[in-house]
Amino acid sequence: MTTNVDQNSTSNDENPVNLEELNAKLESLTASLESEKKSKERILEESKRYKEGYQNFKAKEEEASKAVAKKEEERLIKEGQFSTLLEQREARIKELEGTLENTSKEVKNRDTAITNFRKAAAFERALGGKMKKEAYWNHVDFDKIALNPETGEIDSHSLRKSADGFIESFKELVDFGNAANLPNGTPSGTSGKLTYEQWQKLPSTAEKRKRMKDIVE
């Protein structure tokens, strides 16, 4: 028969062993963590050095290219081949203009995407719900949501107008969740009480006729 004293003795004997195992495991994990951190630092440092080296290489390459072009230009001028020189200049100008145009388009597309993302977030907040499908965003004309030309902030009046117009035309495309009313005060369900102002905003005459009994003062 095992007494309480024996049980306590056994428990006390086991605790140091378990503690040692835990300490050993903790030390192992700590060492692994430090190793991973150092590895990450090495990778970041190597990446930084690689980028710096590549940038230096490209800078030297461009410098060498300019030197070759300048030398060729001096040769053509010395030989009086001005027509050839002008052709090269025109070709280079055309190339730079094309690069500038493409870059400008990329910047404009990026800025438009960022702006429309901001407008979309504000539009859903104004709706008081979420689009049921991504494809339904095609019904939203972001150009009608204006920006303040001075601050760049979204114009609340045009935002409210766009959201209300969307609800009026495409209410079934929006998931309003458990909201009792739409953001413009129009009831989202077909039951419950509503004010006269809310009743006036119902989307159809049939629904107004059906909800007349729900009007409260």
Q: pLDDT of 102-161, one tens digit each?
A: 888 888 888 888 888 889 989 988 888 888 888 899 999 999 999 998 888 999 999 999
What residue numbers bound the domain in which 208 lies? 185-217
The first and second tokens of residue 74, run together, are 């001096």
Cα–Cα nearest to 99, from 85, 61, 91 = 91
Tens of pLDDT along 182-197? 444 444 444 456 676 6
Neighbours of 126 (CB within 10 A): 21
- Count of domains observed in the chain: 1
Q: Name the percent of the chain in helix, strand, coil, to the closest 5.
A: 75, 5, 20
**Would you say residue 214 lies in a domain?**
yes
Reduced to 3 states (helix: H, G, I; strand: E, B; else coil), residue 187 is strand
> What pTM was estimated for this model as a whole?
0.41
Question: Largest Cα–Cα distance in the chain?
Answer: 117
**Would you say residue 211 lies in a domain?**
yes
**Which distant-in-sequence residues (6+ apart) come within 8 Å of 180 by Cβ?**
187, 188, 189, 192
**Would you say residue 152 lies in a domain?**
no
**Would you say residue 179 lies in a domain?**
no
Under a CB-based contact definition with an 8 Å cutoff, are residues 85 and 69 in contact?
A: no
